[in-house]
Amino acid sequence: MGTRVLRRALAVSAAVGLLIAMPAAMSQASTISPHSSDSSLSLSGPKTNRYGTDFTYTISGTANSPADYLVAWEQYYPASGCAATYAAESARTFLPATYGITLWMNRSVSGRYSALARFGAEHLGKHGMCAYLINLSTGDTYAYGGAFWTNVK
């Protein structure tokens, strides 16, 4: 039993470390998960950006209990799109050569929310943003969305 508790504590510590370790941002479609609780998430921003320019994406929606936390990643190789759950997307962080994911935003939310993600078009090609509205304690996904853009010369 002591080993099981130690393993669980280690897993929780690693998950919290992933959430707290990095920066912030977002992008365009809205999807409701099976745990919807009438929560929502929407991403909006440009589809094309000229190399060297700055641009902004907005993540907005409604977080109804038990949804209480917003997490978003930028994808450098968005060929597979966004995973349908926070758990599946966070597992991709361990495959950097395949997905090239960077945590961009992690923050508490409640009620109506809006968050800005500021980017610079520093790398040519297609990029994406995957965002998840979750319950921080359980990791359950209540809404998610993804959007993709292309940085051009």
Domain CATH code at residue 68: 2.60.40.10
77 belongs to a structural domain:
yes
85 belongs to a structural domain:
yes
pLDDT above 90 for 97: no
Task: State which of 14-23, 83-92, 131-140 shows the largest mean pLDDT.
Answer: 131-140
Q: What percent of the chain has pLDDT over 90?
A: 45
**Chain segment 24-77, per-residue pLDDT in tens:** 233 333 344 455 568 999 999 999 999 999 999 999 999 999 999 999 988 877
pLDDT at position 36: 54
More confident call, 12 vs 103: 103
Give the chain's domain count: 1
pLDDT (average), residues 96-107: 69
80 belongs to a structural domain:
yes
11 belongs to a structural domain:
no
Query: Domain range holding 79?
Result: 23-152
5 belongs to a structural domain:
no
126 belongs to a structural domain:
yes
115 belongs to a structural domain:
yes
Q: What is the mean pLDDT of the chain?
A: 77
How far, in Å, are 26, 53, 103 from residue 74 at the CA level?
8, 17, 6
pLDDT above 60 for 126: yes
2 belongs to a structural domain:
no
If we measure between CA atoms, which residue out of 36, 94, 106, 86 comes closest to residue 64?
Answer: 36
Task: Judge contact between 142 and 36, C-beta under 8 A.
Answer: yes
pLDDT (average), residues 69-94: 84
